[in-house]
Structures are given as structure tokens and as C-alpha cells.
Amino acid sequence: MLSLALVPLAPWLYVEVYWFLDRHDWEWPGSDLALPTLIVGGISLAACGLIWLMDPVWRKGRGVRAALAWAAGIAAAALLVVYHDRRSDLELGLVLGGLLGVGVWCVAAGVLARRTSAGVARVLYALALVPLVPVLSVELLVKFDPLSREDAWFLTTSLTGALVVVAWLAIWRRAVAWTAARAVKTLLVLAIGVIAAVAVREYHRSDWLDELGSLLGGLCFAAVWLAGTGWAWRPTAVDRLRPGGTAVETVYCPKCRYDLRGLREARCPECGTEYTLDALVRAAYPTPPPP
């Protein structure tokens, strides 16, 4: 989906808008947040319009729901910005607000996409972890501020790592053909990730930055977990032969050749073409010419 390329732009736009206003000493009557909120809201609405135009999955009655998804993200972002503004952390609030807004939009878009493609919904849910994990990490660091820096970073990375594991399992569990061997591999990957994180943390404990060990350990765990589950959950030849397995014979859109597996309606989310079921069957299994 080409429109997903717009997702990483939101945090960058938040930061650029704020620093532009700060460099030019612009003032807005009422609240310091009024003008940035209007500009960022306008950018978000423009992005929503581009997504509606670029991606057929949002057309034909879905435009309003797509706008509501963006509105939910903007509302969440605004709440976080106001919270940090009261703590005199406006810059941090703008960055975290942008990240939270993108994450909320990904979750809302995933809920909408479930009616069209379970695969697209899972990808959107997975993308939501990218902005949400940093937001949660920073907020936990603020809550653990009374503790020592090393303990605060250790608890933060541990809790966010647990969130990634639970969320990843919740997102992909129905897409995996679970067997005893695959469950053992998953537990093995989890154990290797924890051991690697602890080893990296202990190795860097004496570095010039006390929290560097916890940070690198958390990143190491995330890399091991994501790569390891990709290896452990990959479909095998037995899965393809099993009824209801993870792989079935592919059905393509006759017009653009988009993979239509997993869809719940006979409409291509890529080009927007609608088909009858018999047309798709004829395209997938063409009748041989009479002798």
C-alpha cells in the first residue's frame, strides 16, 4: 500500500512545524499550542485526503471512517501535547504527540482494514508498535524518575520488551499454524532474546553512559525476537498440504495481479475493481477449450 509511506512523515512534520514557529517567534492569541495544532491538524487532514485518493480500500463509503481514524490520532496527540505542556516539556510533547497520533491511526486503520484483508490489518497493527513503543518508553522513564537512571532504564526496557512480545503474539497468532515444534521454537527464541539482552547489558554496564547497557540490551532483544519469530513461524511444506493451512493456492486479481487471498469480499484493494465470485473462479481456473 503506497499510502503507508506517509506514516513515518507525521513525527517529522510535527518537529518541523514547531521549530519553524520557534525560529520566527510567531505568536498566536490565546494559547501557544493553538497555531501548531491548527497547522498539524491541517497536515493530517491533507494526508488523510491523499490516503483516500491513493488507496481504494478507503473509498466507497470508507472515507468518513478513515477521517475518524485520523481524528482519533490527532485527539490522542493533542492530549499528550497538553499534558507535557503543563510540565514545561512542549518540545517533547510535540514529538511524542506525533508518534502517538501515528500509532493510534495505525490501530484504527487496522480495525477498518479487517473487513477487507486480515493480512493488511496485521501489517497495520505491527506498524503501530513502531511509534507506540518509544512513546511508552519515554513515559515510563518519566514515571521511574525517582529511581536511579540505571534502574529506570532497566525497568523501562523490560516492560516495553514484554509489551512487544505480547502484542506480536496477539497480532500474528491466528496467522500461524501452531504445532508443538513451533511453540518450542517460539519459547527458544524468547529465551535467546532474554539471554542476549542480559549479556549486552552486563557488557556495557561500565560504559560512560549508565543506561547504555539497558538501551542496547532492549534493542538486541527486539531484534532477536522479531527475526526469530519470522524464522520459527515460517510456513513449511506440511502446512501447505494441511487443510486450512497457512498457504493456499493463490488467487490473483485479473486486472492488476494483486494477491486476493484472505479477502472477505470480491473487490481488489489495490485497483478497486469489483468481481463476481464466478469471474474470480474462471480467472483462477480457466476452462480448457473443447476438443
In a 3-state reduction of DSSP, which class is residue 246? coil
The reply to whether 62 and 198 lie within a common domain is: no
The answer for residues whose C-beta is within 8 angstroms of residue 260's C-beta and 6 or more apart is 251, 252, 253, 268, 280
| AA identity, residue 59 | R
In a 3-state reduction of DSSP, which class is residue 20? helix
CA 191 to CA 169: how far, in whole Å?
15
The reply to whether 137 and 156 lie within a common domain is: no
User: What pLDDT shows up at residue 194?
Assistant: 92
Is residue 243, in this structure, part of any structural domain at all?
A: no
The reply to whether 154 and 130 lie within a common domain is: no
* Residue 156: CA count within 13 A, CB half-sphere: 27
Quote the DSSP letter at residue 289. Answer: P
**137 forms bridges with which residues in the sheet?**
none
> Looking at beta carbons, which pairs linking 18-22 to residues 24 or more positions away fall under 8 Å?
18/90, 18/91, 18/94
The reply to whether 133 and 12 lie within a common domain is: yes
Q: Do the Cβ atoms of 54 and 270 come closer than 8 Å?
A: no
Q: Do the Cβ atoms of 94 and 15 come closer than 8 Å?
A: yes
Structural domain ending residue among the three candidates 117, 143, 169: 143
Is residue 242, in this structure, part of any structural domain at all?
A: no
**Phi/psi of residue 266, nearest 5 degrees:** -85, 60
**Phi/psi of residue 269, nearest 5 degrees:** -75, -10
Structural domain ending residue among the three candidates 143, 173, 207: 143
The reply to whether 17 and 48 lie within a common domain is: yes
The reply to whether 91 and 112 lie within a common domain is: yes
Structural domain ending residue among the three candidates 235, 261, 278: 235
Is residue 61, in this structure, part of any structural domain at all?
A: yes
Domain residue limits at 12: 1-143
Number of domains within the chain: 3
The reply to whether 68 and 171 lie within a common domain is: no
Is residue 207, in this structure, part of any structural domain at all?
A: yes
CA 72 to CA 113: how far, in whole Å?
16
User: What pLDDT shows up at residue 8?
Assistant: 46
User: What pLDDT shows up at residue 162?
Assistant: 92
The reply to whether 35 and 132 lie within a common domain is: yes
CA 69 to CA 143: how far, in whole Å?
29
Is residue 240, in this structure, part of any structural domain at all?
A: no
User: What pLDDT shows up at residue 20?
Assistant: 65
The reply to whether 135 and 78 lie within a common domain is: yes
Is residue 5, in this structure, part of any structural domain at all?
A: yes
The reply to whether 17 and 126 lie within a common domain is: yes
Is residue 244, in this structure, part of any structural domain at all?
A: no
| pLDDT tens per residue across span 104-149 | 777 877 777 776 667 777 887 888 888 888 888 888 888 887 777 7
| pLDDT tens per residue across span 53-70 | 555 555 555 556 666 776
Low-confidence ranges of the chain (pLDDT < 50): 1-8, 29-31, 243-248, 289-291
The reply to whether 22 and 115 lie within a common domain is: yes
- Phi-psi sector, 207: left (phi>0), alpha (psi -120 to 50), beta: beta
The answer for residues whose C-beta is within 8 angstroms of residue 233's C-beta and 6 or more apart is 172, 175, 176, 182, 186
Is residue 162, in this structure, part of any structural domain at all?
A: yes
The reply to whether 273 and 215 lie within a common domain is: no
**267 forms bridges with which residues in the sheet?**
274
